[in-house]
Amino acid sequence: METNKNVQSEKLYRVSLAPYLRSKSTTQKMMLDVIIAILPALAASIYFFGMNALMLTVVSVISCVVAEVFMQKLFKKKVTVSDLSAVITGILLAFNLPASAPWWMPVFGGFFAICIVKQIFGGIGSNFMNPALAARAAIMASWPGLITNYITPDGVASATPLQLMKAGTTGELPSLMDMAIGNIGGVIGETCSILLVLGGIYLIVKKVIDWKIPCLYILTTTVLLAAFGVDISLLPYHILGGGLILGAFFMATDFVTCPVTPNGRIIFAIGCGIITAIIRVYGGMAEGVSYAIILMNTATPLIESLTTPKVFGEVKSK
């Protein structure tokens, strides 16, 4: 008996791989919260831009889901569309398209986002940049005239507030109230700032996203725009116009492509703000949110390596 006790006391236990602390939240639950948060802004886009906004969103979501199933079956992997991540990608991709976009544009974007950006790199958790923004960048490079063909809610082609400020025609800017509720030209998901902010607050309260990322992103952009000489009276237009609020709350906070360390997230958010402000003031384009987030996505591994706390007792390799 004594021998058996000694054997049991010396028994080696198998240790599983990290993570060891687990949350009750699942990917599906978090994605469902994001859908709940973004639905009011989608409803506003349909109200202002009509059924074409709904059509683009539906086509985009279906394209992303079909692409996800296709790639997972192709690679003989478990089909995981029930986690709703492809649905979120589809909605965010549609939110980055103008209401005048042709139906095939979200089809191309959806397959590019899922097949090229997400699944080829291993699927959810392995992609190094936001799939929806990467698809938008690809569309912008291929069909810049179509993706920048913005229309107002009454169907008239119009420049966005950022384009008007870039051209120096500030006298034609819409009212701040119209900008807040979404009664302006732009892509279908970025115009209704009030509902986007409310959706972002919902995600913060539900602890789906870290409040520091959107707040520091918007704050950094605003402060730098003022430092670069932008008139103080135009700062609200920079905040409400363009994709700053949409990007800050719903895309920069993507838990796959932003840092996981607290200090890393601060650096990430500030970096997004710096790049956005530089592009808006000194770049050739009026908007820089998409490119700012994509560039910082690529810097995420470096940021995490610099901000990950050292393990107690860790010896630096020679």
For residue range 248-276, what is the model confidence (pLDDT) as tens digits?
999 999 988 999 999 999 999 999 999 99
For residue range 112-121, what is the model confidence (pLDDT) as tens digits?
999 999 999 8
The token pair that represents 52 in the structure block: 């074409």
Average pLDDT for residues 153-179, to the nearest whole number?
Answer: 82
What is the per-residue pLDDT for 21? 41
Average pLDDT for residues 23-41, to the nearest whole number?
Answer: 88
User: CA-to-CA distance for 264 and 210, rounded, in angstroms?
Assistant: 12
Query: Which CATH number among 1.20.120, 3.40.1000, 1.10.3430, 1.10.3470 corresponds to the domain 28-306?
Result: 1.10.3430
pLDDT above 90: percentage of residues in the chain: 70
What is the per-residue pLDDT for 95? 97
Average pLDDT for residues 297-309, to the nearest whole number?
Answer: 93
The token pair that represents 255 in the structure block: 């838990």
What is the per-residue pLDDT for 183? 87
Confidence of residue 313 (pLDDT cuts 50, 70, 90): low
What is the per-residue pLDDT for 13? 44
Look over the chain and give the mean of its residue pLDDT values, rounded to a whole number.
Answer: 89
Q: Which residue has better confidence, 15 or 66? A: 66
For residue range 80-95, what is the model confidence (pLDDT) as tens digits?
999 999 999 999 999 9
Query: Please, where are the H alpha helices in the chain?
Result: 2-9, 27-49, 51-74, 85-95, 104-111, 131-142, 144-147, 161-167, 176-181, 193-205, 212-227, 235-240, 244-246, 262-282, 289-307
User: CA-to-CA distance for 261 and 266, rounded, in angstroms?
Assistant: 9
pTM: predicted TM-score of the whole model, two decimal places: 0.87
What is the per-residue pLDDT for 20? 41
What is the per-residue pLDDT for 160? 85
What is the per-residue pLDDT for 315? 55
- For the chain, which residues make up each domain, given as ranges? 28-306
Confidence of residue 127 (pLDDT cuts 50, 70, 90): confident
Pick from 4-18, 143-157, 240-254 the range whose average pLDDT is largest. Answer: 240-254
Confidence of residue 318 (pLDDT cuts 50, 70, 90): low
User: CA-to-CA distance for 314 and 291, rounded, in angstroms?
Assistant: 37
Amino acid identity of residue 122, one-letter, is G
Average pLDDT for residues 149-168, to the nearest whole number?
Answer: 80
